[in-house]
Structure 1
């Protein structure tokens, strides 16, 4: 399985490697929301969380689904703008680019967490489509009251939510991000310079191989192929953005939204050590994970809690079929279940999966 980016008509100057403060702030917020994904950053996350102003912490919880279960494309607005737009050098410049997205683009990207359609297909206009409006609210309701309130407000008054998000991100910069960005920016700039030099001297294939072993350039087909537990495809108009992150490992994010420029958000830090599993755990859990459908279910459940119905829709299967796969995963201790009102949600126990080894964890979180 893979995401494929068709690079027909690629110009040498069409590939750019540029750090983005807004994209890195997204990863910082993700680490704070899901420290279990990043064992090596637990100390940093604990320190930041302990020192947060309660008002900022409360607002962080209002929309954490934008960076906890998905990495909303609102954090990479430069990919949605026409022309050869690059990330800004400062957070303020990136936020100015975010302001240039249309309301339709912003709402579409912000509602990623409610979508069960293919990400690389044309999404309905949530602001104009009654069917899309109802579907977004229905999925948001299954995720909880916070998501429902956010979605209703977003559909009713996009400018208000856009203003709220910008003020919140500016407050995050003041509260904790400015200091860590000053420390990370030299490393990201050096990595971008190195990848740009590889592009110039050795070509796209060598540069992509240096980005990640999971990324390659298939020269006969002219496609960038990213090895992930999802299927996706996008045709580029001769443009590809590579954005390094110091906080992102093990995640390798591929923006392949319909109508946007493709983007790879790749980690530059060294891998974090993971404690190996016992023989008994390994035998039981690897047996449970031997089915490709269960691996794909794990990918969904690693990012957020889902109901059986949502998983059935996402995988094109019946609810009883999904239930049987979930039962196997739960018996192996890989999936937890909780009830929220009338909804029963399932989620991957990332800490348990981490004990299987970093290869599988990186695979489902990639």
Structure 2
């Protein structure tokens, strides 16, 4: 499964690399509303949450479906500006229909059939599933878009004063440097090298940018190009705006020391499938205790050597065992580091 962006005929100068204050603010808001997604930000989340005035916290809860499980597309601009105010001015230029649609039917849940069937009833049903306060907010947005849009803008401006300005000042230079680095990679080493640096989960296949995500969607960059926005608060998410008619945007987490590289979804699945077999789990139990030969494993579990070899091959292909030699003996051992990361890799893959 993957999300693809067709870039046939897109000139190199149409790839844009730049930070976005609005995209980073809504990344922060998502982290505050879903702290379990972002254990690496625990300190920042705890300190920021504790510093918020109760009135602002209540308003954030009221509007959090705009960034909690997914983000409204206009929060990840295709052509970012230097300041939050400048980007909010751009959002104000959207007509009410586009704003309401993007706010209530986000890219991640907005499949083509759902978008065709968009109605007041559909929007309210989706909002109600997120809670009565969100349903009430959606009703107000549908009834009086200008008033609610102004309310949302004031909320984001208050967030800027409360915590965003300080946090943005800390990371904006890092994000700008990362953007320049990606632009240099594209200019001197090509698109494939640049995408590898954006994320191991992003690759070039023929004339398509392929993003390793647990969904099947496609869009095109013909005539517009693609925007790449680095984020210091986005990990482990790899956000892609792919709504029809919108300029495709990829918001990616900047690389940080200590954070593991994302594991491709197909490899996570292969590892889970490998350990689903009861015989391979028994072999893994023995291999976790130390290196063993095929013969030792066969004797320990009353299996034939060919049976053990077949199961070991599956574990090896999944990257779950290491192989070493001791004289004429081939020894297998469970890679405990990889196994210990499997749960986290699975969570990060489905959150990506």
Q: TM-score range by the shorter chain?
A: 0.7 to 0.9
Q: SS at 1:258's partner residue?
A: coil
Q: 1:113 to 1:205 in 2, by over 3 A?
A: closer
Cα pair 1:108 1:125 within 8 Å, conserved: no
Deviations 1:115-157 (A, max 9, x none): 8551x5682485xxxxx11121123223320121011111111
Aligned twin of 2:232: 246
Alignment-derived partner of residue 251 in structure 2: 265
Retained in 1: the 8 A contact 2:6–2:208?
yes
Matched, 1:73 2:58: no
Question: C-alpha displacement at 1:166, in angstroms?
Answer: 0.5
Q: Secondary structure at the match of 1:134?
A: helix
State the match for 2:185 in structure 1. Answer: 198
Match of 1:256 in 2: 242
Q: How many residues align?
A: 281
- Whole-angstrom distance in 1 between the partners of 2:257 and 2:114: 36
Q: Which runs of no fewer than 5 residues in structure 2 stay unpaired?
A: 261-270, 277-339
Which of 80, 93, 106 is residue 100 of structure 1 equivalent to?
93
Mapped partners of 1:7, 1:170: distance in 2: 36
8 Å contact from structure 1 (residues 218, 224) kept in 2: yes
In structure 1, what is the Cα distance between the partners aligned to 2:108 and 2:193?
35
Unaligned runs of 5+ in 1: 80-85, 127-131, 275-284, 291-353
CA deviation profile, 1:48-83 (whole Å, cap 9, x unmatched): 11111111111111111111111221212x33xxxx
> Counterpart in 2 of 1:226?
211
Instruction: Determine whether 1:207 maps to 2:191.
Output: no
How much has 1:195 moved relative to structure 2? 0.2
Q: 1:193 to 1:241 in 2, by over 3 A?
A: same
Q: CA deviation at 1:355?
A: 7.1
CA distance in 1, matches of 2:108, 2:192: 33
| RMSD of aligned Cα (Å) | 2.7
The answer as to whether partners of 2:105 and 2:115 remain within 8 angstroms in 1 is no
Q: Note closer, same or farther for the CA distance 1:2–1:252 as it changes in structure 2 (3 Å cut).
A: same
1:46 aligns with 2:38: no
CA distance in 2, matches of 1:116, 1:89: 29
Match in the other structure for 1:112: 105
Q: What is the rounded CA distance, in whole Å, between the counterparts of 2:12 and 2:107 in structure 1?
A: 37
CA contact (8 A) 1:5 1:224 kept: yes
Structure 2 residue 148 is the aligned partner of structure 1 residue 161: yes
Are the equivalent residues in 1 in contact too, given 2:8–2:222 (CA < 8 A)? yes
**1:198-249 per-position Cα deviation (integer Å, ceiling 9, x unaligned):** 1111121111111001111113xx1111111100001212410000001101
8 Å CA contact 1:69, 1:113 repeated in 2: no
The answer as to whether partners of 1:247 and 1:269 remain within 8 angstroms in 2 is: no
Distance in 2, matches of 1:104 and 1:258, equals 15
Paired with 2:81 and 2:133, the residues of 1 have a C-alpha distance of 31
The answer on whether the counterparts of 2:3 and 2:210 sit within 8 Å (CA) in structure 1 is yes
Q: From the superposition, tell whether residues 113 and 97 of structure 1 become closer, same or farther in structure 2 (CA, over 3 Å).
A: closer
